Amino acid sequence: MADDPGIRLRDIAAAVGITERSAHKILSELVEEGYVLRERHGRRNRYKVKAELPLRHPLVQEREVGDLLEVLLRPERPGRDGRRAKSGVAAQAMVS
């Protein structure tokens, strides 16, 4: 969503392996809490992630949403063994 503001809920759901209904519930909570802005464009919605807000978990509240997005949106890079390492591994370490 941060990378594609016009993404459809069904595409979000498919990308993370959850139902469209679950994706809608999660997104609605994020909108309600102010982490995501939803704007109607005709029949579609566009989303904007509020990157300057703090992460919600007490252990990482000093970090901003944008810090996590920076790690998640970083292109894949070769790992130590020469295979492509996904940046999500680094993001998981950041919130753990």
Cβ atoms 72, 88 nearer than 8 A: yes
pTM above 0.75, yes or no: no
Express each pLDDT in 67-84 by its tens digit.
Answer: 989 988 888 766 666 555
Q: Which residues pair with 45 in a beta bridge?
A: 40
Confidence at residue 3, expressed as pLDDT on a 0 to 100 scale:
86
Confidence at residue 57, expressed as pLDDT on a 0 to 100 scale:
87
Confidence at residue 18, expressed as pLDDT on a 0 to 100 scale:
97
Q: Which of 23, 4, 2 is nearest to 12 (CA)?
A: 23
Express each pLDDT in 21-66 by its tens digit.
Answer: 999 999 999 999 999 999 999 999 999 999 999 998 888 889 999 9
